Structure 1
Amino acid sequence: MTDTRAALDAMLAELEITPITIEHPPVHTVEEALPYWSALEGVHTKNLLLKGAKGGLWLVCVPTDRRLDLKALAAHVGAKKFSFASGETLLEALNVVQGSVSPLALINDKANAVQLVLAADMMSKPRITVHPLVNTATVSVTSAELLRFVEATGHRAEIVDFDRLPAS
């Protein structure tokens, strides 16, 4: 992971993105992270790697307090049904372990196999916090910087207004 973190830091520098970074003990859940995040400006996120019933991977990044209707989201993005990707799939697709996934892990998706979904309400805020490939640090970047980074990885973010999705 150290090599990929160095590659991430280099790419952020190349894109002239200087995140605000805090280091903290390993966290595996939002609840564990909240005490550390209180010192960091931005919408705090939860990130899920979802697998479509007929294939395909989606990385969904939403505010921590957002409840997700996975059936409605699957219908919106054209997937039959979603399940949570396994830790093995997460490692193969994004080269991160559970608890460390974020849109920044798209740097490791050279095959462009993962589709990114970002919450519209989150993207309308000035800053967003995510893990930088490890669960021992959190970074705060602007919404525009996050989109610039995603584009630089060759991905396209689908920004979804979850409040407007028809309930399943």
Structure 2
Amino acid sequence: MDASSAFQDTLPISSDALLATLDDWGLPYRLHTHVPLRTVEESKAVEDQFMVPGENALRLKNLYLRDKKKRNYLVTLEQSREIDLKALGAELGVGTLSFGSADRLMQNLGIRPGAVSPLAMINGVENNVRFFMDGAAQKSDVIYMHPLVNDRTVAMTRADLMAFFDRIGCEVNWLP
């Protein structure tokens, strides 16, 4: 199974269910469908199809990480930001970080590799995943991310994304 919407019914919360929840909560978004995107490079190749020219937007890359004590982290960064896991672990005060496995990703965030997204915290809060977000998001008007599958992208205002986090009880830890 891949991370596309074709297999969304095998997820704890489907992309369709997530979008219905956003609708129910009155949190607007723009939905875009596209070929499955697995990497930042693939995303950059198609983003011109749905990005609004002149929009102060943040495009993301997301890292599902674990420390030696088996604590889980979702780190969301501006897609072009360079990352050093050793330095990040020191910055977060958690020591050595490594990438979590696909099985743990499903267990803790309810998604597959290629669809990692801040919206997966709808599952992550229940599994004690700590969420860290790039401070660049605080300066962006719109944030683009996958809605639990990698052949869809939603654009949400920063305020609506923060309202989503409040609604699910997710603490946002900001990275400088």
TM over 0.5: same fold? yes
Aligned 1:17-32 pairs, distance under 5 A: 17-32=27-42
- 1:111 is paired with a residue of what secondary structure? helix
User: What CA deviation, in whole Å up to 9, does each residue of 1:131-162 have, x standing for no partner?
Assistant: 0000001111111111111121121010110x
Where structure 2 has 5 or more consecutive residues not aligned to the other structure, the ranges are 1-7
Counterpart of 1:141 in structure 2 is 156
CA contact (8 A) 1:128 1:140 kept: yes
The answer (yes or no) to whether the contact 2:131–2:172 under 8 Å persists in 1 is yes
Aligned partners of 1:154, 1:72: CA distance in 2, in Å? 28
Provide, for residues 15-55 of structure 1, a one-character-per-residue CA deviation record: whole Å limited to 9, x for no partner. Answer: 21111111001111111122221222421100010101112
The CA RMSD over aligned residues, in Å, is: 1.5
Structure 2 length normalisation: TM-score?
A: 0.85
Q: How many residues align?
A: 161
Residue of structure 2 equivalent to 1:71: 86
| Structure 1: segments with no counterpart, 5+ residues | 162-168
Q: Which of 63, 85, 109 matches 1:48?
A: 63
* Counterpart amino acid of residue 129 in structure 1: Y
TM-score with structure 1 length normalisation? 0.89
Structure 2: distance between partners of 1:14 and 1:120:
28
Please report how far the alpha carbon of residue 111 of structure 1 lies from its aligned counterpart in structure 2 after TM superposition.
2.2
1:12 maps to which residue? Answer: 22
